[in-house]
A and B are shown apart, each in its own frame.
Chain A
Amino acid sequence: MPPEPHDHEVCRALFARLSELIDRELTPAQSRRFERHLRACRHCQVCAETLRRTVELCRRAGESPVSGGLARRLQAMARRLTAAGGPPTAD
């Protein structure tokens, strides 16, 4: 199948909903339309791949450990709070 001619309006529409495409939150018909455009438009491919990588980098960003000091303070707080039994009634 010959590539679809470059359509700036579709580029703009895709640009506005690229995150939804990445998150699979579009309808099947919307996804098919944008996927078809993506196969034909190099500019939108770059846009999609760089945004996809941005999301991956966020998802894979490491976590910092809780310091020993904070863990001890939390433990002491929990002990203090629960010394009288269950939590107080929330009014």
Chain B
Amino acid sequence: MPTGTRAKPGVKDEDAELIRAINAGEGHRFQQLVEKYQQKLFNFGLRMCGEARDAEDMVQEAFLNAFRYLEGFRFETRFRNWLYRVAMSACLKTKRKARATRAETLSLEDFFPEDPAAMPEDVPSWARLPLERVLSAETSRYLQEAILDLPADHRSVLVLRDMEGLSTAETAQVLEITPANVKVRLHRARLFLRSRLKEHFEHAP
């Protein structure tokens, strides 16, 4: 179970006081952690698993394990990041596995244009117009589907970095990979999504 041993001690953590209180005997305050993070974890689960039932199972499993191992939390990483790591483990254990991904691996070469001269010279409208005009419920749904088609090891990086807002270093810590690896996977995942969004907008009525 994660203990956050790779980070430097003394990380500033807005949850530290609450966790110390829980570990000191105010167990009833665990409810506050649940209320604070249930929405985040549920959406993390949805993005990772794709199915609401799987996400719900994952959230329950994650909080159960968080409670079980909270006393072992050493404040060497932010509690939020530790919780993501617990959630990631729960995700992998969820019985109903996420659907098989379309791509098993992603290579940079797959996305580099074969003939750059044939590429458009004008920025397409979906990348040029104000974001509010481009971001619709349909686009969000399409994006979520495309994210689920990413290989799992790329999807976790993209979700943590671009959707949950973790830094490269925090993502590396949660996933126990190097920051260089985070950057490589993130870039390929973004290129994959860009290619899917391009298709989506080109075929939009």
Are B42 and A66 interface neighbours, CB within 8 A? yes
Task: Report whether over half of chain B's contact residues are helix, strand or loop; otherwise say mixed.
Answer: helix
Does B103 sit at the interface, judged by CB under 8 A?
Answer: no
Known contacts A81-B30, A90-B71; A54 and B194 CB within 8 A of each other? yes
Whether a CB of chain A sits under 8 angstroms from the CB of B127 is yes
Tell which of A43, A46, A49, A70 touches B59, judged by Cβ atoms closer than 8 Å.
A70
**In the complex, A25 Cα to B1 Cα: how many Å?**
31
Q: With A and B bound together, what is the CA distance between A71 and B111 in angstroms?
A: 42
Give chain B nearest CB distance to A47 CB in angstroms.
8
Interface string of B142-182 (1 = CB under 8 A from A): 01100100000000001000110100100000000000000
Indicate the size class of the contact surface on chain B: 35 or more
| CB-CB nearest in chain B for A19 | B187
Instruction: Chain B residues near A39: list those with CB within 8 A.
Output: none
Taking CB atoms and an 8 Å cut-off, the chain A residues in 56-86 that contact chain B are: 56-67, 70-71, 73-75, 77-79, 81-82, 84-86
A40 partner residues in chain B, CB cutoff 8 A: none
What A residues does B34 contact at CB under 8 A? 74-75, 77-78
Q: Check B119–A46 contact: CB distance below 8 A.
A: yes
- Chain A facing B: main interface SS: helix
Closest to A73 in B: B60
| 14 further A-B pairs in the complex, CB-CB below 8 A; given A70-B38, A74-B38 | A25-B183, A43-B116, A46-B119, A46-B121, A50-B123, A51-B190, A61-B140, A63-B43, A64-B52, A66-B59, A86-B26, A86-B71, A89-B71, A90-B70
User: Chain B interface (Cβ within 8 Å of chain A)?
Assistant: 1, 22-28, 30-31, 34, 38-39, 42-43, 46, 52, 56, 59-60, 63-64, 67-72, 108, 111-113, 116-117, 119-124, 126-128, 131, 134-135, 139-140, 143-144, 147, 158, 162-163, 165, 168, 183, 186-187, 190-191, 193-194, 197-198
7 contacts between A and B (CB under 8 A): A43-B120, A51-B190, A61-B143, A78-B34, A82-B27, A86-B24, A87-B27
